[in-house]
A and B are shown apart, each in its own frame.
Chain A
């Protein structure tokens, strides 16, 4: 049994510290938004979790390609780890978005392009998990998983464009916003600091969780191997 790497311990601590600082920045350093009030604070974490979600899906697609080219088991473990983490984070992003949308849009949910795309993305990766569960042979599971991770990631922009062509009310805070967007605002200096710090924190959190999950995946693979050895 291999020891938990020292760097991972350090990263755990660092993540915890960053998280505390980030929460402090969001609640005490960034000013209160004038029209939306306290509920706007959700934005700092909402965007950060959604970012981690997309980051993980991207990682999964990239390691999926690596797996198909090289066929090494570690890429499969990484792909699964990234998708598992991102599935949860993306779901949290959707929930937090709903909490914000209730007072601002006066509804928990609307079929706006981003919201709809987010739902479809969740369904794609839920299908990914079901695909993996349905296959017993580890090699085949890894191959199919890699193919589906790439297919899913490629389809997301097309889905987004197609729904965008219908219409949007979701605010775009970074970059230009549509004039029709509701609940838009422009960030002041301290808000920007808190926002980008939060993005950074969540990225580190992702790396930390990813590392843990990959370690766990490797141990699980070892267990599976040992079990096969015993039964064979």
Chain B
């Protein structure tokens, strides 16, 4: 029990460190948000998002936006650790390594979720479509968890490589295909008012993916940060 409490304390310390640093600079959040809005703007021109196309294409546009903005955040949050030697400091701390992983992952998840929570109303206003539905928020949460679980592990690997900035999306996107497909399908179904039973299968897939990849990342994080 004591072990678990120590684990939680280390985890919240890492999360708090990330959030405080972000709160003071607001570097990451601004970059992700502006980038996300730009992607939506580009989609507006590229796809001619008229009223009819919107209902069918919206979920795809949203998830591509989240995925791209997500890589930006993942890369940056790990690069700051690496550049100023903070990662070594974290690793020297006498805590379980997985606490560091979960701390970073939760931090990344918070950033991503905050960006998503800003993008949703903006998108709703711009395209006159109501995106604030509890089911949709659930899908976005589940999808983001899967994305961040793999993304945090891979960004830890990518920042240690010579080709770091270009490497993360190349490593990450082929692995998160199931998340993107399931999330796009499920959100699309919700926006088109399908019955929950028709979406259920996709939600199950998301949950399965989340569980499997959190478990794998938990097991492998040690090997990725080892010196």
Binding site for B on A (CB under 8 A): 68, 120, 123-124, 127, 130-131, 133-136, 140, 143-144, 146-148, 150-152, 154-155, 158-159, 161-163, 165-166
Contact = CB atoms under 8 A, between A and B. Distances in A.
A68 B223 CA distance: 7
Contacts of A136: 162
Nearest to B224: A147
Question: Which label, helix, strand, loop or mixed, suits the secondary structure of the A interface?
Answer: helix
Interface in B172-227: 173-175, 177-178, 181-182, 185, 201-202, 205, 208-209, 212-213, 216, 220, 223-224, 226
Contact of B205 (A143, A146, A152, A165): A165
A163 B171 contact: no
Question: Which label, helix, strand, loop or mixed, suits the secondary structure of the B interface?
Answer: helix
Contacts of B153: 147, 151
B28 interface: no
B202 A165 contact: yes
27 contacts: A68-B220, A123-B173, A123-B174, A124-B174, A130-B170, A134-B161, A135-B160, A136-B162, A140-B160, A144-B157, A144-B224, A146-B223, A147-B157, A147-B220, A147-B223, A147-B224, A148-B154, A148-B171, A151-B154, A151-B175, A151-B213, A154-B212, A155-B174, A158-B178, A158-B212, A163-B181, A165-B202
A94 to B, nearest CB: 15
Contacts of B224: 143-144, 147
Nearest to B209: A158
B181 A162 contact: yes
A127 B202 contact: no
Contact of A150 (B173, B205, B208, B216): B216
Contact of B174 (A68, A127, A134): A127
Q: Which of A147, A163, A165 has the most CB of B within 10 A?
A: A147
B205 A134 contact: no
Given A147-B157, A148-B157, A162-B178, A134 B212 contact: no
Contact of B167 (A130, A159, A161, A163): A130
Give 5 closest A-B pairs by Cβ, nearest first. Answer: A134-B161, A134-B163, A158-B178, A162-B178, A123-B174
A161 B206 CA distance: 12
A131 B226 CA distance: 17
Nearest to A130: B170
Q: Which of B163, B173, B177, B209 has the most CB of A within 10 A?
A: B177
